[in-house]
Amino acid sequence: MLEEAEKWLSRRSWGVTDRSMAQLLHAKRAAGAAGSISVVLPALNEEATVGAIVEALRRDLMEDVPLIDELLVVDSGSTDRTSEVAAAAGAKVVHRDEILPRVPTLPGKGEVLWRSLLATTGEIICFVDADLRDFDSRFVSGTLGPLLTEPGVQLVKAMYDRPLGDQPSGARQGGRVTELVARPLLNLHWPQLAGVVQPLGGEYAARRSLLERLPFPVGYGVELGLLIDTLNVAGLDAVGQVDVGERKHRHQDGQALGRMSAAIMRTAQCRLPGTMLPSRIGLTQFQRTEDGGFAPETHPILADERPPMATIPEYTARQAA
């Protein structure tokens, strides 16, 4: 490991119990407006899990202790009862298309996260995936800790074990795209980030002042893009990570992971100097046919990126108000 990354790993890695709730509340109050916190759950057909996550966050971090100021679920076009379940559990629910309506929406998680900057008010924003099972609110309080207590930290990633399935033998075998794609890319091209345990994890928090300056890949590449761009804009010490234990969520099949991998590779390539890429790309995969052959199927790969939110007139007008 690069010496710089090794030193960062020991200096900017913490555990979820390293800061007490009393410390977090004291730091939040001392920060004033700069300590205001919004939690955002991007959600697409997550009625089975989103309610429990919202209930835990509202109970533990809004009612029992006043750490979170705003809890928002952004529905990106669900066809199930995601919005109703989230609202009943106590979240504010906004549909993706209602935010910045003059700009036609694109599919993808990154699109939802980008738009959420215009729908939230907190100076610290924490993102949480809506498909987590056995959710622990310390995912959020732990990740927020360094942002409240370390002035130089601007982006904090949660790190955790990711079991693959429910068997004990599957422990730590999740995160296949991380191990096969993202980690090799970072070690090859951005070795300073080699110490980041979960570069693609969906649980992370950042200062608004950072996020509003960064472009957002609209698809699966958003987490990698934000991480690399934070390194370039703010430096390695602006990044931190907190061990929150174990993350359980829905796993996707191999072909879905292939499409995810292609989007992540595209995001990385866009950040390499001198790389020329077509504006539209696709990934051809194969399905076995009834006659015993293979049929190709080409899937479009989301390659669009949204500009920094600080360049959007509606956002700058709101911030100036």
Question: What's the pLDDT tens digit per position in 30-54?
Answer: 999 999 999 999 999 999 999 999 9
pLDDT of residue 306: 97
- In the numeric block, the tokens 């422990």 are attached to 171
Question: Among 17-31, 156-170, 190-204, where is mean pLDDT lowest?
Answer: 156-170
Q: What is the mean pLDDT of the chain?
A: 93
Q: pLDDT tens-digit profile of 253-289?
A: 788 888 889 999 999 999 998 877 766 788 999 999 9
Is the Cβ–Cβ distance between 75 and 44 less than 8 Å?
A: yes
pLDDT of residue 302: 79
Closest CA to 37 of 14, 66, 76: 66
- Give the C-alpha separation, 239 to 201, whole Å: 14
- Give the C-alpha separation, 81 to 51, whole Å: 10
